[in-house]
Amino acid sequence: MKVNVQSVNFNISESLVNFIQNKMDNLEKFHDKIISADVYLKVQKTSEKENKIAEVKISIPGDELIVKKQCKTFEECIDVAADSLRRQLKKNKEKQRTFNT
């Protein structure tokens, strides 16, 4: 799957890009027709510790799934977002099965 990672106002490390790629690749186990994933990473300028925002958009045939999470670290954001996307992909696939029968 093609994963496009964009960081806003900061430089992203290679290890974080690899972490994101692995998490997104794992989602293909739950839906075999994922076209691409767009990941946007932002740092919000606030006094709060949870100032990292990850927004993930997954393109599948006929639909787009979008998740936005805010956490202390980008790794935590991607973990939580991947869990949420996994649930959405399962639900979407179940919907397709019932629709096709």
Q: What is the pLDDT of residues 53-92, one digit of tens each?
A: 999 999 998 889 999 999 999 999 999 999 999 999 988 8
Least confident piece of the model among 8-12, 17-21, 48-52, 95-99: 95-99
Question: Which residue segment(s) compose the domain that 36 sits in?
Answer: 2-100
Edge-to-edge strand list for the sheet holding 52-60: 2-8, 36-43, 52-60, 63-71
Give the dihedral of Cα atoms 63, 82, 92, 3; nearest 10 deg: 30
CATH code for the domain of 87: 3.30.160.100
- In angstroms, rounded to a whole number, what is the distance separating the alpha carbons of residues 18 and 23? 9
> How big is the chain, counted in residues?
101
How many structural domains comprise the chain?
1
